[in-house]
Copies of this chain bind each other. A is one copy, B any other.
Amino acid sequence: MAFIPCLKLYNYNMSEKYVHDVETESALAEKSFEKKIVFSGKAVKFHADTVILPDGGKAVREYMEHPGASAVLPVLSDGRIIFVRQFRYPVGRETLEIPAGKLTGPGDDPLIRAKAELEEETGYKAEHYDKIISFWTTAAFSTEVLHVYAAHGLIPGTSHPDEDEFLKTEIMPFEEAWVLLQAGKIMDVKTIIALQAWKIRLLEEK
A residues with CB within 8 A of B: 10-14, 20-23, 26, 28-30, 32, 38-39, 41-44, 46-49, 51, 53-55, 57, 59-64, 66, 85-95, 97, 133-145, 164, 166-168, 181-184, 187-189, 192-193, 196-197, 199-200, 203-204
Contact = CB atoms under 8 A, between A and B. Distances in A.
Contacts of A134: 184, 187
A95 B85 CA distance: 32
Contacts of A138: 90, 137-138, 142, 144, 189
A97 B136 CA distance: 11
A14 B186 CA distance: 10
A86 B28 contact: yes
14 contacts: A20-B91, A28-B87, A38-B41, A46-B62, A47-B90, A64-B64, A90-B139, A95-B139, A134-B187, A136-B188, A137-B189, A138-B144, A189-B193, A192-B193
B189 A94 contact: no
Contacts of A200: 196, 199-200, 203
Contacts of A43: 62, 141
Centre residue among A13, A60, A135 by max chain B CB count within 10 A: A135
Contacts of A30: 87, 89
Contact of A189 (B49, B85, B136, B143): B136
A13 B44 contact: no
B23 A92 contact: yes
Nearest to A24: B92
